[in-house]
Structure 1
């Protein structure tokens, strides 16, 4: 029946995407194969219960292959029906032959039956471990040979971990069977996600011993992902490389995905939050995909190399955010199917884009491609098992964990390789400058008199190269004005000079009003042009050589005004504000206008103060300007 279900699913897939003629041909061919396979499939349709002995058990026993099951598709079975069947035998039980019965994303309820016997002279305690902690509800009935219910338990992710019969990240059901007795065990399983029922039986001692090893494995796995995330977040704080922060978020997202899939989040984080217990996966998966897509576009520099692909990835990442936001308002079953369907194409797309960049000469992409390939193989096993296309196994069970760690480590290699490439380029430029200086010195030693002019030219070239390097390190790549580094150094110099001469020093913090909305509406390219225009207008408004403007961060600019009091600072600020307000930016035939909010600060520095106070007061003034409705200048109260 399970194989027939898979074939039927494949027929539905074919009929949804092919023309009518191909549809009929495909169905006829598949029906012919079904006819050939029926003798093989029929061996699973036995109705007699198979008995599992619990005597002298050592280690786990996989009892999945000894299960019988029946689906509640056309008839609803109650426990009374099941008990009556134990005597009459009119329920069409199907014998399972798989190591782990899997039925894909089927919202129906299934009953599973297992018969166990204790041939020893003592009562035995055993544990059932269901290695799928995201099942919604599992009702467990233990019935003796006379048809009396001797034990009832309930578990599943609809139940808090503290209310389960056994506190564990997986679904664990304890039971005992008296000496010399045979019992019938029934499991009523309901879920809106993928219905897999991998069942193992343990002795309590063996289970505890195995669990310690397993917790060490998962602890190391989660530790690696968390360390990778935290480390790269600190790297981002140092270098401000956006790919680092997206990689850090992706690593943490992977950790939460794996922890949720294996029940650890339900056990330790949101055990008492029913909505999160049932919907965490449909939030974590799209968010993790979002961070992976954003990391990919920044790491591969797609905005410069493949703008169209970059836009497609942004749209796909936006869809992931929409799916995560839709969790409170949509069906879990529909969302988990959609998420599972998206994972493999996104992984495959990552490989294709990485190959394009690799073949285009971008060497850091090679680790990126290998990482996505490893994760694609892992997630393929995982996704196909969730759709029930093959039974759960050791490979599919731990493929995602190993693939995730491999991907995280390889992404780290890719980031390190890119940083190494950039470092080599810098060293090469530095070596070239040193080589120029060395050759100039050698020429000077050989003939000072004859080659004075050549030496002068070489020194000028060297000086020019050094100045260009210095200018590049102090220049904002987008707007062409000075950057934050220049601003910090300039402000420190002017502060000490004003302190020494006891002169007033002023600064302005300028923020473009509603820039994010402008960016979202007109696109990043229009946003870049807006930043350039504002930078040019500010620079054009400053008339004194000692005044300077720098890009402070994002859509913020900072202006340093030496020997200027508060009145003068406000005068300059208003000139800047009016110049920007009156200027038009042409985007795709439209004339657009933007405004700015400006915060000012100015005073004569004192020995017990620092330049950071000047920045803080300007920032407070900027906040006042925004609170006053924007497009205005404010000074500290």
Structure 2
């Protein structure tokens, strides 16, 4: 069952990843007619707009691609872009959310507009609230856009210009895919958390934490956390990647230790996982207290070897013949490749923005799928081991397969009986043995649908014992309970048709559902019931006791669009009319 469940999830996640990367690849593909003529220069010192604007001593170089990538550098980079006039509104988009300081100077004929952007600036001062950086270019305006960029992260500046409609349509598609992706991560985290609560197996809890921290890392990398979760926290935006990355490696090491049971097979490898966990905790401290430039290098230095070590551990167990080790090895191999691609992208070795931005997302998606499968296989493996141990124990104790099978059949039958008894109690009133209010709510809906389909009448009786509180106060609750049981018996004796349903609605109030019964027939039934209760006393330990009842009757006319709520309200109002008008009577709506 678990394998089928994860198989279905796996197909869904593969389709999700196809949608995710298809949308992002389409969004990042250059649009026809949107090629930009970009020039750039770098400086070890900070410059101002006056230093680069119409300054012949400054040497601008043409940018060969709209996706500028210079790796890790302390230099300040300036970019210059000429923008012609257009008849429609446009948006200039910088598709990289981790630039610390990004100043844009929109130089027009008689005006200069300045935008101070970057993830070191408050989020809500951005002119367009997106996870990356965008500025509007109104229709009919032309000029030159100057950029200055400084960052402790990798220096990248992928530029694109689209019409306002194209831009927001692309953003909507990307956000939809992102919402589905992170929604799946959250569902996986919650599902495995429930698995941990139910089974108390620590690998489920650790995998849940691992998924959450990986989701936090992805949110930080894509700037979505700054947009949706911590827009007021510049500290978390600056430290999010090293913090969540370190926590991800820490939980990954502990998860692998619990999942693979290395202490049973190779203690040396198990100690290596503890060392990895300790180093991850160290990188966490570095991420909190050191600068981003230092902490990200420390994190990347640990990430690739850490994934490689997990790959080695998985390969070792694979060689030992463990089925689940195969998927574990492939999972971490995929993530290792994605981490390496991401690291090379940060260092400027790989120029593909699609790989740089989405390598870990693609790798993590496949890895999460495969690790989920590993959990399922490992869980089945544990169950198999427990069953084998149980079988060996039964063989030693009983001595024959037939006796064990017989005992299992008995246990299964008892379990079925217990389940049936529990289900019965779930819908049964413990005092009277009648159906309870929950069963009444379900059955009235079923009978309503049946009456609607067959165009047959449906009636409801609400029955209340008159002055029942006085009975309890005078004779005690024990006598009152005996009267309630006696009333329940009389209702069951009166409602003998197969479709009649008697329920205790609450306290001294009962409900009788009469299927295929008109209002006149229900009223006659109620009159007989009132007369019988009035004339025949109830036997109790304190002697015979006379009581009376009040009954409200209502019929459902499904053809006129009435609902079950209308039927219940009508019967209830009729009951309380009967009580107000003297009790011991039947009132019909």
- Same structural fold, with TM-score higher than 0.5 when normalized by the shorter chain: yes
Residues 8-87 of structure 1: pairs in structure 2 closer than 5 A: 60=31, 66-73=37-44, 75-85=45-55
What is the alpha-carbon root mean square deviation over aligned residues? 2.7
Q: Which secondary structure does the structure 1 equivalent of 2:355 belong to?
A: helix
Alignment of 1:170-209 (within 5 A): 170-176=132-138, 178=140, 181=142, 183-209=143-169
**CA 1:63–1:190 in 2, change beyond 3 Å: closer, same or farther?**
farther
Residue from 88, 91, 101 that aligns with 2:58: 91
Contact 1:225 1:255 in 2 (8 A): yes
Asked whether 1:243 is paired with 2:203, we answer: yes
Say if 1:151 and 1:175, in contact at 8 Å, map to a contact too: no
Q: Report the counterpart of residue 505 of structure 2 in structure 1.
A: none
How many Å separate the matches in 1 of 2:173 and 2:292?
Answer: 33
Q: Which residue of 1 aligns with 2:565?
A: none
Structure 2: how far apart are the matches of 1:64 and 1:424? 61
Task: Tell me if the contact between 2:76 and 2:150 (Cα under 8 Å) persists in the aligned partners.
Answer: yes
Helix, strand or coil for the counterpart of 2:81?
A: strand
1:561-600 matches, cutoff 5 A: none
Conserved 8 A contact 1:286-1:324? yes
Distance (Å, rounded) in 2 between the aligned partners of 1:218 and 1:103:
27
| Distance in 1 separating the partners of 2:256 and 2:288 | 28
Matched, 1:420 2:380: yes
8 Å CA contact retained: 2:102, 2:149: yes
Deviation at residue 436 of structure 1 after TM alignment: 8.2
The question of whether the paired residues in 1 share the 8 Å contact of 2:345 and 2:355 is answered with: no
Of residues 358, 361, 364, the one that matches 1:404 is 364
What are the within-5 Å matches in structure 2 for residues 358-373 of structure 1? 358-373=318-333
Structure 1 pair 281–433 and aligned structure 2 pair: CA distance change class (3 A) = closer
Give the equivalent residue in structure 2 for 1:151: 113
Match of 1:281 among 215, 238, 241: 241
Q: Number of residues paired by the alignment?
A: 379
Choose which of 95, 99, 104 in structure 2 pairs with 1:131. 95
The secondary structure found in structure 1 opposite 2:99 is coil
Query: What TM-score do you get using the length of structure 2 for normalisation?
Result: 0.60
Aligned to 1:222: 182
In the TM superposition, what is the alpha-carbon distance from 1:407 to its structure 2 partner? Answer: 0.8
Equivalent position of 2:231 in the other structure? 271
User: 1:310, 1:440 → 2: CA distance?
Assistant: 40
Output the CA distance in 2 between the equivalents of 1:319 and 1:441: 52
For residue 384 of structure 1, report the CA deviation from its aligned partner.
0.8
CA distance in 1, matches of 2:152, 2:99: 8
Shift of 1:62: 9.4
Q: CA deviation at 1:177?
A: 5.5
SS in 2 for 1:98: coil
Q: Distance in 2 between matches of 1:236 and 1:218?
A: 27
Instruction: Return closer, same or farther for 1:260/1:355 CA change in 2, 3 Å cut-off.
Output: same
Pair 1:162 & 2:124 matched: yes
Q: Deviations over 1:560-617 (max 9, x none)?
A: xxxxxxxxxxxxxxxxxxxxxxxxxxxxxxxxxxxxxxxxxxxxxxxxxxxxxxxxxx
- Matching residue within 374, 378, 381 for 2:338: 378
How far 1:72 moved relative to its partner? Answer: 1.2
Alignment of 1:524-539 (within 5 A): none
SS for the counterpart of 1:70 is: strand
Max radius of gyration: which structure?
A: 2
Q: Distance in 2 between matches of 1:294 and 1:67?
A: 48
Aligned equivalents of 2:209, 2:178: Cα separation in 1: 19
- The separation in 2 between residues aligned to 1:316 and 1:439, in whole angstroms, is 48
Helix, strand or coil at the partner of 2:323: coil
1:553 matched residue in structure 2:
none
**1:603 corresponds to:** none
Q: Deviations over 1:341-368 (max 9, x none)?
A: 2222211221111000111122211111
Q: How does 1:492-571 map to 2 (within 5 A)?
A: none
Distance in 2 separating the partners of 1:65 and 1:387: 25
Say if 1:345 and 1:65 are closer, same or farther in 2 by CA, change over 3 A: farther
- CA gap of 1:354–1:63, structure 2 versus 1, over 3 A, is farther
Q: Using the TM superposition, give the Cα deviation of residue 198 of structure 1 relative to its aligned residue in structure 2, in angstroms.
A: 0.9
Cα gap change, 1:433 to 1:296, in 2 (>3 Å): closer
Normalized against structure 1, the TM-score is what?
A: 0.56
Give CA-to-partner distance per residue, 1:299-322, whole Å, 9 cap, x none: 111222221222222122112112
> Contact 1:61–1:200 at 8 Å: present in 2 too?
no
- Name the SS of the counterpart of 1:110 in structure 2: strand
Cα offsets for 1:206-257 (capped at 9, x unmatched): 1111112111111111011111111111111122222211111110011111
5 Å matches for 1:597-616? none
Mapped contact 1:193–1:332 kept (Cα < 8 A):
yes
Query: Which runs of 5 or more residues in structure 2 are unaligned?
Result: 1-28, 409-589
Query: Residues 368-413 of structure 1: CA distance to partner in whole angstroms, max 9, x if unpaired?
Result: 1111112122222211111111213323322221211111111110
* Structure 1: distance between partners of 2:401 and 2:43: 90
The CA distance in 2 between the partners of 1:309 and 1:392, in whole Å, is 36
Q: Secondary structure at the match of 2:106?
A: strand
Quick one: distance in 2 between partners of 1:347 and 1:254? Answer: 14
In the alignment, the residues of structure 2 paired with residue 279 and residue 416 of structure 1 have an alpha-carbon distance, to the nearest angstrom, of: 34
Of 101, 104, 109 in structure 1, the residue corresponding to residue 68 of structure 2 is 101
